[in-house]
Chains A and B, each alone.
Chain A
Amino acid sequence: MVLLLKTAGDHWRSYAGWTIGLLAMVGIQLSVYPTVRSSAAGLATFLDNYPEALKQIFRMEDYTSGAGYLSTELFSMMLPLIFISIGASWGANATAQEEERRTADILLTLPISRVRVLSIKITTAIIAQVLLAAVTVLSLVIGIGFVDLTLGTTKIVAGALTGALLGILFNAVATFLGAALGKRSIALGGAIALAIAGFLFFSLAPLVDTFERITPINPFQWTLGSRPLFNGIDVGYTILSLVVASAFYGAALVVFKRRDIQA
């Protein structure tokens, strides 16, 4: 608990910043929705004239409905971006930052195993993702009432949990890279690069056959691909995501337990 609180305390400023950003984004998007809804007919015509490719890339479907609007404006990119940024950052900081700043020399010579240290840091990161998902749900559940946007709470929960799942996946990747290499920049850069590549492949998959073929192994397909605001949580993909995240976390624990800590 001591290390968990310390880890959370180390991140609280940036976490608070991201949370405020998320709330602002939710607020702004919801405030625009009444205009979108009132212009539904015109917008529908306008969007019908959009190039098919663009509609597929941005997965614009039933844009003027609550689910369609929030899916396009929040859940297809902006919210995942926040979840992934926090996840990758916390993962890179978990051990690599301690090593680079050489605070690991004291932390890892305390009577606590490396596995336990890293497990606590992973737990803290997962809690952070779940809490952010809760903030997302709460803000939307409250917010949609003010703008008369129709969307079931279970669908909002599904969307938020999907975002958290993406955050956890890329947290696991960054944690693994940091634990294996001890370099924060590589851990953060590697996880973010993977996320960008995954997102691009996912977005362009409807247009490019090669990308379409690798879609089943793309984390964005496991999460956003199931269209949680329309269909709720896809249990199979969720389990797959958790298994992959667990594999990265497990690998991180194994390599970190055995590796020399750099001076």
Chain B
Amino acid sequence: MPASAISIQGLTKYYGRDLGVADVTFDVYPGEVIGFLGPNGAGKTTTMRSLVGLLNITSGRAQILGQEVSVNASALRAKIGYLPGAPALYKNLTGLKHLEFLAKMREVNCTEAIHTMAERFDLDLGRRIHELSKGNQQKVAVIQALMHKPEVLILDEPTSGLDPIVQREFSAIIDDMQTRGTAILLSSHVLSEVEHLADRVVIVNAGKQVLVEEISRLKEKTVRTIDLYFAMPVKEEVFAGIGGIKDLRMYGNRVSCTVVGAENALLRCAVDNGLESVQTHESSLDDIFFSLVSGGDTNGIAS
């Protein structure tokens, strides 16, 4: 396992007496995309703003590329790309002037990257920010986070306001950056996007970390619903003793149940009893997310 690019240990942030986020702990490794999920006010933005030094951490540790984020922070930020949630730009500048200003501040020549990404996003760089739609302003903000080819990317709802075509381009760019070894932490309310882009998810709710899990393992561990269709009615006792099945319901020729983990034993038994067809209902990330944040526990996920 390579050294983590982002390491958060017990990160806690209070705003006065109000809890922002408590005891968040996870790592992001080079070439990994972490989907950071949670309802509004869960603590995602607080965590991200703490990582880039906009907030002072109350307790715990936050490191990027092996350095504490509060130490020599400006040098560290040269290696970070950050997209704030609902980013605000200098309204009187054109998109190009804005990006050139930020590139000069970074002392990096980003001209080629700016024009390449603007083309991919179909963005007119010659218009002033205040003349651009919300989606086009978001494109400028996304480009400023990516243009200097950072080693670590922290993106707070990057596709907010982007149309589906641009979202696809954005996904392709993220894939490229991941391939190049960039560590990416992204929050999003578009769960299908996270499911597509992320290797792991961190879910927070009400300031507390609820779950850190690989998406593939999360799906393995989630409860699926299976409908089995037989040539003739079967008896409930047939399925007795098969591990991992719950909520067995008999509807004549159809048997419905929920399964945790591998369903091999169930299917073997069903085949022996005249199975004709099978229908599986996979839990999506949406189902998992909603079960976690509404129940506040790991309902729907096998421990």
Which residues of A are in contact with B by a Cβ distance under 8 Å?
2-3, 6, 10, 101-113, 116, 258-261, 263
Contact = CB atoms under 8 A, between A and B. Distances in A.
A108 B144 contact: no
Given A102-B84, A103-B90, A109 B52 contact: yes
Contact of A109 (B82, B89, B107): B82
A2 B80 contact: no
Interface of B: 15, 45, 49, 52-56, 73-78, 80, 82, 84, 86-90, 92, 101-102, 104-107, 141, 144
A261 B54 contact: yes
Contacts of A259: 56
Contacts of B56: 258-260
Given A113-B73, A263-B45, A102 B88 contact: yes
Q: Report whether over half of chain B's contact residues are helix, strand or loop; otherwise say mixed.
A: mixed
Contacts of A109: 52-54, 77, 80, 82, 84
B55 to A, nearest CB: 5
Contacts of A111: 74-78, 105-107
A103 B78 contact: no
A118 B283 CA distance: 51
**What 9 A-B pairs are tightest by C-beta distance, nearest first?**
A102-B88, A111-B78, A105-B84, A261-B54, A113-B74, A2-B104, A109-B82, A109-B52, A111-B77
A111 B15 CA distance: 26
Contacts of B74: 110-113, 116
A6 B101 contact: yes
B54 A106 contact: no
A263 B82 CA distance: 14
Contact of A103 (B75, B88, B104): B88
A258 B104 CA distance: 26
B46 to A, nearest CB: 9
B44 to A, nearest CB: 12
A106 B84 contact: yes
B222 to A, nearest CB: 34
Nearest to A104: B54
B287 to A, nearest CB: 30
A260 B106 contact: no
Contacts of A2: 101, 104-105
Contacts of B76: 111
Name the residue in A101, A109, A110 with the highest tally of chain B Cβ atoms < 10 Å from its Cβ: A109
Contacts of A261: 49, 54-55
B54 A112 contact: no
5 contacts: A103-B89, A106-B84, A110-B102, A260-B56, A261-B54
Contacts of A3: 105
Nearest to A258: B56
Given A261-B54, A263-B45, A112 B105 contact: yes
A110 B88 contact: no
Contacts of A101: 88
